[in-house]
Amino acid sequence: MLLVIDVGNTNITLGIFQDEELVANFRMTTKMPRTSDEYGIMICGLLNSRKVNVAEIESVIIASVVPGIMHSLKNSIIKYLNLTPFVIGAGTRTGIKISTANPKEIGADRVVDAVAAYDIYGGPLIVIDFGTATTYDLITEEGLFLAGVTSPGIRISADALWNETAKLPEVEIRKPASILAKETVSSMQAGLVYGYIGQTEYIVRKMIEESGIQGMKVIATGGLGKIIAEATDVIQIFDPYLTLKGLRLIYNKCKSK
């Protein structure tokens, strides 16, 4: 079995693959500082909760955008799973060529998403990850990472709305029945969700327009992305496990080489 770990700014997502099948997935918060023992106990406990024997884990691969926790996390894998994890970084063979001004600035999660979307759905495509930040990445038919857009995630926008105003309450992020809101909660929900739908549609169409690439597929993943994907026709596929699938694909590419 393969354990894949995606370390994001808000959550750490873990997946267990038996060959090509994702048999279990888990999530824990990132922002709480933990020791290697705490990580190890939590990971083993999550595996046991799904009746996955720790001894059956043969390999571990990690993609991280949070360097500060990596020492503890890597040591937890070594100590509790008796395995040395493979960590995706500069120079990792992925099959995606990055043509941006500074390829090393592209986060590991974006590369992993690009690999998964390109390998599974084919190019040309735009990959949208609705995470802590929302990213829009354009991959050509030849597998070239051509350009990317980064914007504040919907939850960051929501936090700013109720933390920076004196009277607006914290609300559930969901799409209201109508944009014609008649009270505070639904008016905030309308602004957040419909505003984000508008952002998504404009950025996707502008990227297609300026690139001049026709026949573009749009694949989305991450967090609250399902709310947006269900409300717009610019997104063709919402794949909640895209990043986990990408980690497995990259592991297999590196293993074969």
Q: What is the average per-residue pLDDT within 218-222?
A: 96
pLDDT at residue 235 greater than cutoff 90: yes
d(CA 109, CA 7) in angstroms, rounded, equals 8
Read off the CATH number of the domain in which 73 is found: 3.30.420.40
pLDDT at residue 256 greater than cutoff 80: no
| pLDDT of 234 | 96
Q: Is residue 50 part of a domain?
A: yes
Among 64, 87, 110, the domain-final residue is 87
Q: Is residue 245 part of a domain?
A: no
Same domain, 108 and 204: yes
High-pLDDT (> 90) share of the chain, %: 79
Domain coverage including residue 15: 2-87
Q: What is the average per-residue pLDDT within 242-251?
A: 96
| pLDDT of 107 | 86
Catalytic residue among 109, 129, 137, 239: 109
pLDDT one-digit tens code per residue, 39-74? 999 999 999 998 999 999 999 999 999 999 999 999
Same domain, 16 and 126: no
* Residue 257 confidence class, pLDDT cut points 50, 70, 90: low
- The per-residue pLDDT of the chain, averaged, comes to 92
Same domain, 162 and 60: no
pLDDT one-digit tens code per residue, 117-175? 999 999 899 999 999 899 999 999 999 999 999 999 999 999 998 888 888 888 989 99
- Annotation marks residue 119 as catalytic: no
Q: Is residue 221 part of a domain?
A: yes
Among 34, 59, 87, the domain-final residue is 87
Q: Domain tally for the chain? A: 2
Q: Is residue 73 part of a domain?
A: yes
| pLDDT of 166 | 84
